[in-house]
Structure formats: structure tokens, C-alpha cells
Amino acid sequence: MINRVVVLGGGTAGWMTAAALAKSLSGGPVSITLVESEAIGTVGVGEATIPPIMIYNNALGISEAEFVRATKATFKLGIEFANWKRKGVSYFHPFGMIGSDMDGISFMHYWLRWRKNGGAADFLNFNAEACAAREKKFAWVEEEPGPKMLPDVNYAYHFDAGLYAKFLREFAEARGVQRIEGAVCDVAQNPDSGDITSLTLEGGRRIEGDLFIDCSGFRGLLIEKTYNAGYEDWSHWLPVDSAVAVPSASSGELLPYTRSIAHEAGWQWRIPLQHRVGNGYVYCSKYITDDMARSVLLNNLDGEALAEPRYLRFKTGVRKKSWVNNCIAVGLSAGFLEPLESTSIHLIQRAIHKILAMFPRRTIQPCLVERFNQEMYQEYDEVKDFLIAHYAITERDDSPFWQYVRNMAVPDSLRQKLEVFKERGEVLINKHDMFRETSWFSVLMGQGVEPEGYHPVADTISDEQLRMRMTHIRHAVEKRVSMLPKHGDFVKKHYM
């Protein structure tokens, strides 16, 4: 029987997993133990999220107000990409829908026709999140009585990673998770099955278990060091391999979005929180030294640096198998795709969702393990293509880094997507893909890919009908945004 779950690691992955398992399984026969080492510490930098984080919070019954206060969070409506297409040009990748789908096809086909006929050139005028972000506004949308007339505002959060882990730790411990402090120095396995039987801490204490969740970060202490599950290296497509991070003092208006600013050998994030701004330069060490990267970062802060910059190293890619025997890798131990679209915490969430759906009771069935591995691989693979697109489609050739990425061969799956998009403005997506049409459209258009055509159904309405539809949606977006307060005022009023 699988009665004892041991989570190794107390970073975002470890505490998200422990909290979710505790919420779902407490009260039954399954005990949950989490082992972490304060001396080893966590990466502590995952601070921007995407909207499905609501699904996780809601499933745990977490109150938004409590969560936003505890983690000093702010609200995120999308990401601004500066200098990605070329220096001096910015575009926005918003959450939520652009317009609304009509007659079975995406709104974007109508917009492409509209623009061809001389209509307004900016498709983001039809997206409430982008319009609110431009005006630095945010508020949740109150439920409206009667039929819905105004678009929702979709959002995610920026939060303090350390405070998030603390918040989840309190949640998990209140539901029976036992936390053990200490560094694991040995792993015992059953000589016949190869299953892990216990972890030994420095000092000799042993922690036995039936199922081990490896949340040990880049080390992959169980999944790789014990099981050699293998790593598929994607650094030829996503060549950034280092980051230098530093918090800075807040200055100016509180932005409701993440900023991603491309530099000579990578890009810089700016994540606004209630009490500080998170900053980091993600770069490729082949093209810039650590010292140079540090000075680029420090020269591009909006406020005074609040700590010494910290360096991080990584290799983009995915673990070939994230479940082996009785060990499942979650978080950085399962793979890392770089933080460009804030997807890592979401991938943690996807893994937790699947672990709960497939939670073994009596035995671990190989077919379920295989399914888990296939599904997790697909999750990473799909995100990978979206991230590569940001680099591969650029006009920049002003440094060896940009020359490399704009000339690299892209995966076939991405090449096909780009070909279809250029020909007919259509985005090929799979049913469960995380990034939907709005995301691909915003990024591809933002990076300068212009579709030559659009879907023929968009030609089946009259010019007047098209004008009326476009005007109606535009007015609804304007009305929604006009009702929103400034993001900074909203956060201050409700959470500070």
C-alpha cells in the first residue's frame, strides 16, 4: 500500500506539492513528510505566474485576499516585451481573449480583414487586459446581473517566492504535513525492485516512505542521481544558461504586468511587487561574462539595488522520465525552460494535478507511469516551441547571441505553425495546449510575422456587419477599462 509520501525539497515545488496532497488526502491513511535543508536553500526567484494559478489556489480553498497580503503580491495582466523584435520596439502579450470568437472562427480573422479594409491597426484595442495595462489599471470584475455585456479581466500574480513557500508551508503543516529539517546524504533502495525505501539525513536519521516526490531542484537528487532518468537538452534552441538576480526598491507607478527587456546576450525581467521589484538578467554565458551581465543588470534598474546580485546556472530541457519506480520529479528536478513566459510554477501545478489524478493506492502500475511521463513531456514540449518563437523570429542581428538565435533551425512542430500562420493567420494548437491563439497571435505579430491571408468565413459578413461587430467589441473594452482604478490604488486599498 502507498501510505507514506515523502517530499524531498521545500522550495515552491515541494510546498505546492505537499499543500495540495495534504488538502486532498488528509483525513485518510496517507501521511505526508517534507524534508528540506535550510543550509542548501531554494532558488527563490520564481515570482511571476500565469492565470491557471487560480485553479491551484481555488482547489486548495485559498482566499485571494489572504494570499495577496501574505505574499506581497501584485496583479499581472500580461508581459511587455521590449527590444525583442528590434531595439526601441515593444509589444504586449496579454492574458485573456482578443475580441471574441465568431461563427466558429477566431476573432483575429475578422480583425485581419478589418485591418485590410483600413480599420484600426492595433488588435490589442480589442483586449481588455492590454488596454488596462497601458493605463496601469487593474481590479477584479464584479459579477454583473443579467447577460454578460463586458469582457472579463483575466489575471495572474507576481509574488515574493520566499513568502509564497512560507504561506504554503503554514497551509500544509496545518493539515498534517510533517516537516523535517536536514540534508539528505544517502538514498536506500530495495535491491530487488529498485524502489526507494528511505532517505538518510546527515547525522543518521532515516525517513522511510512508499512514494517519494523529488522536489530537490536542479540537483534532481532522486530522479537523476539515484535513477539516472536522463535529461533532454534543449539548449541549442533555448541557449540562455545563466541568470543574475537582484531586488530593487520600487519607484513610479505600480505596473500590472511583467516587463521583459531584451539585451545583447539575453533578456531582463522586472517583476513589480508590493514592497520591491524583482529583477534578473537571463543570459547565455557563451556571449557575455558574469561580470558584464551583472553590470548590465545593475545599470538597468529603476530603483536602488537592495541586495548583492545572486547568480544562477541552468540548462534548458526536460527530464526524459519524470516518474521512475516510486519516485516522481516535480519542479526544477523535472526540467526547466527558462522563465520568459513564467511557466515553471504552472508546470509544477500540472504535475501535481496529474499525481493526484493518478495517485497510486496498492501498487504503482507501469502503464500509469508511462502515461504520466508522456503527458508531462508533452507539457514541456509545447511550452518549448512557444518560447523558441520569441527568439527565432526577430529582426535583431546586432550581437552574436541574436545572430545565433535568428539563424538556428527551429523544431518541425514550430516550423509548421509558422508556415500556416504566415499563409492564413491561423494558429495550430492542440486541445490541451497551455498557450492559446491569443498568446501566439500577440507574440508572432509582435515579433513581426504578418499573415498573408485569413479564414474565408471572415468574408461571409457584409462590411457594415463587420464594422458594427468591431465597434461593439471596442466599446465594451473601453467601457470595462474606464471602470477600473489604477493598479497601485487598488492594491493599496485592499491589501496593504
Ligand X SMILES: Cc1cc2nc3c(=O)[nH]c(=O)nc-3n(C[C@H](O)[C@H](O)[C@H](O)COP(=O)(O)OP(=O)(O)OC[C@H]3O[C@@H](n4cnc5c(N)ncnc54)[C@H](O)[C@@H]3O)c2cc1C
Catalytic residues: 76
Q: What angle do CA 143, 145, 151 make, to 5 degrees?
A: 55
Give the whole-angstrom CA distance, residue 115 versus residue 111. 6
Which residue(s) pair with 75 in the sheet? 157
Nearer to ligand X, 23 or 219 (CB): 219
Nearer to ligand X, 119 or 217 (CB): 217
Long-range contacts, stretch 20-23, CB < 8 angstroms, 24+ apart: 20/56, 20/59, 20/60, 20/352, 20/356, 21/177, 21/352, 21/355, 21/356, 22/171, 22/172, 22/175, 22/176, 22/177, 23/59, 23/60, 23/61, 23/171, 23/175
Give the residue, chosen from 14, 220, 247, 256, that forms a contact with ligand X under the rule CB under 6 A.
14
Give the residue, chosen from 127, 279, 344, 438, that forms a contact with ligand X under the rule CB under 6 A.
344
Backbone φ and ψ of 310, nearest 5°: -115, 140
Give the residue, chosen from 132, 215, 238, 355, that forms a contact with ligand X under the rule CB under 6 A.
215
Nearer to ligand X, 14 or 78 (CB): 14
**Residue 80 Cβ vs ligand X, minimum distance, rounded to whole Å:** 14
Give the whole-angstrom CA distance, residue 256 versus residue 158. 9
Q: How many other C-beta atoms can be found within 10 angstroms of the C-beta atom of residue 295?
A: 13
Nearer to ligand X, 83 or 333 (CB): 333
**Helices marked H in 242-398 — which ranges?**
290-299, 344-357, 366-392
Is position 188 an interface residue for ligand X (rule: CB under 6 A)?
Answer: no
Is position 10 an interface residue for ligand X (rule: CB under 6 A)?
Answer: yes
Nearer to ligand X, 125 or 333 (CB): 333
| Residue with the three cell numbers 530541457 | 317
Is position 443 an interface residue for ligand X (rule: CB under 6 A)?
Answer: no
Nearer to ligand X, 341 or 426 (CB): 341
Which residue(s) pair with 313 in the sheet? 242
**Residue 206 Cβ vs ligand X, minimum distance, rounded to whole Å:** 13
Q: What is the number of alpha carbons within 13 Å of residue 127 lying toward its C-beta?
A: 26
Residue (of 243, 213, 258) closest to 20 by Cα position: 213
Nearer to ligand X, 160 or 426 (CB): 160
The grid coordinates of residue 398 equal 546586432
Q: Which stretch binds ligand X (CB under 6 A): 211-219, 433-441, 465-473, 477-485?
A: 211-219
**Residue 297 Cβ vs ligand X, minimum distance, rounded to whole Å:** 12
Q: Which stretch binds ligand X (CB under 6 A): 30-38, 302-310, 369-377, 393-401?
A: 30-38
**CA-based max dimension of the chain:** 78
Give the whole-angstrom CA distance, residue 357 versus residue 137. 38
Is position 130 an interface residue for ligand X (rule: CB under 6 A)?
Answer: no
Give the residue, chosen from 71, 342, 349, 394, that forms a contact with ligand X under the rule CB under 6 A.
342
Residues 360-389 that bind ligand X (CB under 6 A): none
Q: Are 272 and 211 in contact (CB under 8 A)?
A: no
Q: Are 238 and 316 in contact (CB under 8 A)?
A: yes
Q: Which stretch binds ligand X (CB under 6 A): 115-123, 146-154, 215-223, 469-477?
A: 215-223
**Residue 102 Cβ vs ligand X, minimum distance, rounded to whole Å:** 33
Q: Which stretch binds ligand X (CB under 6 A): 31-39, 203-211, 249-257, 297-305?
A: 31-39
Is position 314 an interface residue for ligand X (rule: CB under 6 A)?
Answer: yes
Is position 196 an interface residue for ligand X (rule: CB under 6 A)?
Answer: no
Give the residue, chosen from 5, 30, 33, 37, that forms a contact with ligand X under the rule CB under 6 A.
37
Q: Which stretch binds ligand X (CB under 6 A): 39-47, 86-94, 366-374, 462-470?
A: 39-47
**Residue 267 Cβ vs ligand X, minimum distance, rounded to whole Å:** 11
Is position 221 an interface residue for ligand X (rule: CB under 6 A)?
Answer: yes
Is position 13 an interface residue for ligand X (rule: CB under 6 A)?
Answer: yes
Residues 42-71 that bind ligand X (CB under 6 A): 42-43, 45-49
Q: Are 394 and 85 in contact (CB under 8 A)?
A: yes
Relative to beta strand 327-329, strand 211-214 is parallel
Residues 274-313 that bind ligand X (CB under 6 A): 280, 282, 312
x/- track of binding to ligand X for residues 233-262 (CB under 6 A): ----------x-------------------
Nearer to ligand X, 125 or 343 (CB): 343
Q: Which stretch binds ligand X (CB under 6 A): 97-105, 331-339, 438-446, 469-477?
A: 331-339
Nearer to ligand X, 82 or 445 (CB): 82
CA-based Rg of the chain, rounded to a whole angstrom?
Answer: 23
Backbone φ and ψ of 95, nearest 5°: -80, 170
| Residue with the three cell numbers 517519494 | 212
**Helices marked H in 393-411 — which ranges?**
400-407
- For helices 53-60 and 344-357, angle between their N-to-C axes, nearest 10 degrees: 50
- For helices 400-407 and 366-392, angle between their N-to-C axes, nearest 10 degrees: 120
The residue ranges that bind ligand X (CB under 6 A) are 8-14, 35-37, 40-43, 45-49, 161, 183-184, 215-217, 219, 221, 243, 280, 282, 312, 314, 331-333, 339, 342, 344-345
